[in-house]
Amino acid sequence: MKKTSTIKQFFSELTHSDHHRPLFYKPGKDIPSGIVVFLVALPLCLGIALASGAPLITGLISGIIGGLVIGAISGSGTSVSGPAASLSAVVLVMIQQLGSFDVFLTALVIAGVFQFLIGILKAGVIAEYMPTSIIKGLLSAIGIILIISQLPYALGVEMKTRLSDYSQNMVDDAPERITTILESFAPGAIILSLISLGFLIFWDKTFLKKFKLLPPSLFVVILCVILNQLFKWIIPSLYLEGQHLVHIPKTEGLSSILTFPDFSVISDPNIWVSGFTIAIIASIATLINLEATDNLDPHKRRSPPNRELVAQGVGNTIAGLIGGIPITSVIVRSSVNIASGSETKLSTLVHGALLLVSVLFFSGVINLIPLASLAAILLVVGYKLASIALFKQMYRKGWSQFIPYIVTTVAIIFTDVLLGVLIGSAFSIFFLLRSNYFNPFNIKFTPSPQGEIAHLELSNEVSFLNKAAIKRFLYKLPEKSKMVIDASFSTYVEPDIIEMLRDFQNTYAKENNINLKIIGLKSSYEHDKNLNLEKREIEADKKLNTPQDILDYFKDGNTRYVNGELVSKRFRNKDLMDFFESPPLSAVINCIDMREPLNILLDTEIGDLIPMRAAGNLVGESIIHSAEVACRYQGCKLILIMGNSNNAFIKEALEHHHNGKENSYLNRLIEPALSDVKIKQMAQELSTKELADQIIKWNLNESCNRLLNENEYIKSQVLQGKIGICTAFFDRDTGEITFSPLMNTSKVLKEQI
């Protein structure tokens, strides 16, 4: 039942494509674009069939199915499917091995069924893991191959085939191509190519761009047909005919077009192996081309890969049943489709319908189109795919992106699409492994009262690939080191790593007197979307309901700081804004001499504290008012007045006082304290440094009294227990903070009376 419901859900999804536009969103763009794609697809269908060792009409049959059937089912608004150039060599060998074309068709039917099942099982997710560098390498390679393969047609050179086959090795026959080009040119083809290139390149800079219903590609084709006919009557030497024109074979009814599979060989294991091979290669090629097409889409729409595989499976099954050759999503047609301004899949359907009509009725008209005009269109498309700017852009991204990109490009040119992508992917995986090896953790050394502490913060996911780098670092630690391993931000740590860390902690660390603490590491992890991360016991602000709760929280935080057990705090901008949605815990008033970060000393979260500065920790009217605003408006429940040892301002003020500099601007920081009897007595017994610390503590208490005596709101809230006031003294030598109890308001008020 579960499987049935899954299939029903999948097919219900096939009827919805909310992220794509309606079919007739912009027919004024899609119909002309479909015509241009049709003109480009025509010679490609014929050429790929020829390269596959199949009848020429089979290429057109697959082109029609790719446009009408796959185009209707596919969820892509830009991808165009047709005969698979990447499979032409495979098909050629299979037809020879299986003995006949109708036997091969049986294998193709099986391949289509396999593809359909692959889509139903949602295996198309592998396309999401294809690196951008590989996709761009594929596009650049296709662009370069397009330019190489179309130059002969643009120059009117006689070639053995008209195939723009990017599955072939374009280098092996390069000498023959060059020799042929040098020996024979067709002046008429060169003229038409130059005119076409001129219009295509400068179209947007002329008044012609105002004709929105006439894309430059279609204009070029129509213009070249007219010019070539004029050549025939005016300059016969420039007239192009024969192999320089598109050629569609004439048909004599459906019986002359269709070929049916021979199912009598269905029990032959070789048929099933061939079918499975075609399904795998065609699926991978489709997913790669689909991802590349989405990258070219100016609207950056994402095509559903599983739905595409279902569409390809249906298309290849039908192609096998009526005499076609394997079909995939094709980057050449798709890139031309996008370059021509296509907005929806209507252009794909139009191109398929025109292929059907042309085969049945208009082969004579289509055969008037010079190949030079189509070659010019593909030359422009090829340069856009492999522009110099793209090479520069990838180079600027660094070697980890550029090398897989350039290797993929070169490998595809020298081999074929699938092998080239596999070679490029191998290089990409190498850089991924290299990155994981060197960057499985962040390491920093933090000074603390107990000496320098090494903090090793594990990455988000730690796998066996990271084991060597972590182990290498840990086992190089000198004796008596202080080390904290923080796994608080790790959502997954492999068991091998957990075991290695525990072994290190229980053996090597103990034997070498390494003070090691591991924070946030769980005993086991699972890959789960709803994974609950292990966090500190006191984390949510909701648990800190009273001033005493907050004070205890600060005490615990300072203990973690002193012991070197701080938990890492790495936040993106959105995370910071999320913190600001919660009320702060405390307003902290400290001296401007204290530059140590309060969040680290108290190990608090971002936004927990509102720091205020008062020289010498003596609050004045503005600070008292600010404290009221922090409590009344922002919701602070604690006012913490924090002083620090070795206060440079107080020490200098005491030195000025001892030296008789009564007009020093710092004297007002110590005058109230020096008027106290106890401080006067201490002044006779303590050193300047020790006396400075005692004055700071006196100022802290004085500031508490001022807050209570000079602000009615704070006093009333403290009396009700809604706000707490206390002092704290930070010892710079030990890192410890000594907190006073919360201010006993009733006792203070009695003393005042």
Handedness of CA 359, 364, 365, 369 (dihedral sign): positive
The pLDDT assigned to 589 comes to 93
The pLDDT assigned to 129 comes to 65
Pick the more confident residue, 151 or 19: 151
The pLDDT assigned to 14 comes to 45
Inform me whether the pLDDT recorded for 633 exceeds 60.
yes
Bridge-based pairing of strands 81-83 and 327-329 is: antiparallel
Which phi and psi (to 5°) does residue 298 adopt? -65, -25
Rounded to an integer, the average pLDDT of 370-388 is 80
Residue 245: which of 129, 162, 122 has the closest Cα? Answer: 162
Token pair 């999320």: residue? 578
Residues 6 or more apart whose CB falls under 8 angstroms from that of 99 comprise none
Please report the beta strands in 339-480, taking only residues with DSSP state E, as ranges in sequence order: 441-446, 453-458, 461-462
Instruction: Identify the three-state secondary structure at position 461.
Output: strand
pLDDT band, residue 108 (cuts 50/70/90): very high
| Structural domains in the chain plus CATH codes | 2-389 (no CATH), 439-519 (3.30.750.24), 541-752 (3.40.1050.10)
Q: How far separated are the first and last CA of the chain, in Å rounded?
A: 82
Give the amino acid at 563.
N
Q: Which of 369-378, 379-388, 459-468, 675-684 shows the lowest mean pLDDT across its residues?
A: 459-468
Write out the two tokens for 498. 């957990």
The pLDDT assigned to 163 comes to 38
Q: Which of 2-6, 98-102, 258-262 shows the lowest mean pLDDT across its residues?
A: 2-6
Rounded to an integer, the average pLDDT of 267-281 is 86
The pLDDT assigned to 587 comes to 93
Instruction: Identify the three-state secondary structure at position 545.
Output: coil
DSSP secondary structure letters along 208-223: GGG-TTS-HHHHHHHH
Percent of the chain beyond pLDDT 90? 19
The pLDDT assigned to 671 comes to 87
pLDDT (tens digit per residue) in 301-322: 778 888 989 999 999 999 999 9
The pLDDT assigned to 162 comes to 38
| CA–CA gap between residue 597 and residue 599 (Å, rounded) | 6
Cβ pair 523, 503 in contact under 8 A: no
DSSP secondary structure letters along 82-115: EE-GGGHHHHHHHHHHHSSHHHHHHHHHHHHHHH
pLDDT band, residue 441 (cuts 50/70/90): low
Beta bridge partners of 519: 486
Inform me whether the pLDDT recorded for 62 exceeds 90.
yes
Pick the more confident residue, 100 or 360: 100
Inform me whether the pLDDT recorded for 438 exceeds 60.
no
The pLDDT assigned to 628 comes to 93
The pLDDT assigned to 624 comes to 92
pLDDT band, residue 109 (cuts 50/70/90): very high
Pick the more confident residue, 657 or 552: 552
The pLDDT assigned to 2 comes to 46
Rounded to an integer, the average pLDDT of 458-463 is 75
Give the amino acid at 33.
S
| CA–CA gap between residue 239 and residue 305 (Å, rounded) | 46
Please tell me whether the overall predicted TM-score, pTM, comes out greater than 0.75 for this model: no
The pLDDT assigned to 726 comes to 93
Torsion of CA 418, 422, 424, 425, to 10 degrees: 130
Measured CA to CA in angstroms, residue 373 lies from 225, 230, 240, 350, 370 at distances of 9, 15, 12, 20, 6
Q: How many CA atoms lie within 13 A of 515 on its CB side?
A: 12
Buried b (16+ CB within 10 A) or exposed e, 282-294: bbbbbbbbbbbbb
Inform me whether the pLDDT recorded for 88 exceeds 70.
no
Write out the two tokens for 296. 């070219």
pLDDT (tens digit per residue) in 179-226: 666 666 788 889 998 998 988 888 777 777 666 556 677 788 889 989
Give, for 726, the enclosing helix (H) or strand (E).
Answer: strand 724-730
Rounded to an integer, the average pLDDT of 684-697 is 89
Q: Which of 400-409, 620-629, 651-660, 739-748 shows the lowest mean pLDDT across its residues?
A: 739-748
Write out the two tokens for 140. 């650049």
Pick the more confident residue, 395 or 7: 395
Inform me whether the pLDDT recorded for 750 exceeds 50.
no
Rounded to an integer, the average pLDDT of 699-727 is 91
- Mean pLDDT of all residues in the chain? 79
Token pair 């070498």: residue? 512
